[in-house]
Amino acid sequence: DQQVKQNSPSLSVQEGRISILNCDYTNSMFDYFLWYKKYPAEGPTFLISISSIKDKNEDGRFTVFLNKSAKHLSLHIVPSQPGDSAVYFCAAVLQGGSEKLVFGKGTKLTVNP
């Protein structure tokens, strides 16, 4: 039962353009969401997060948008850089629960020079 879904396995964009990575979830009890970035042979590294009481959070080139009614969040990277090429995982945390993360399957982003 995939509670967090990333329906695009891969995405390719040109350097300087916007990258938009999407994530859908099914459990309305999720109340905190995170994006992680993962390079090959390394562990995931935390990128940005958003609480369910917000609809937007921004950190430099990275912005996460949350649409609770649609159970959808997205990560925008502007401008995209070749070093952003990695697998991006969306993760969610249950309300009132531990920090246990439920991950999507990931989207592989390739930024072409």
Partner 1 sequence: NAGVMQNPRHLVRRRGQEARLRCSPMKGHSHVYWYRQLPEEGLKFMVYLQKENIIDESGMPKERFSAEFPKEGPSILRIQQVVRGDSAAYFCASSPGTTYSPLHFGNGTRLTVT
Which of residues 30, 85, 89, 109 is near partner 1 by CB under 8 A? 89
Nearer to partner 1, 19 or 89 (CB): 89
Q: Is residue 62 involved in binding partner 1 (CB under 8 A)?
A: no
Residue 50's nearest CA partner among 79, 7, 90 is: 90
**Contact letters (x/-) for partner 1, 31-50, by CB under 8 A?**
-x-x-x----xxxxxx--x-
> What is the C-alpha to C-alpha distance for residues 7 and 106, in angstroms, rounded to an integer?
9
Q: Is residue 23 involved in binding partner 1 (CB under 8 A)?
A: no
Q: Cβ of residue 13: shortest distance to partner 1, in angstroms?
A: 22
> What is the C-alpha to C-alpha distance for residues 55 and 50, in angstroms, rounded to an integer?
8
Question: Cα 81 to the chain's mean position, in Å?
Answer: 17
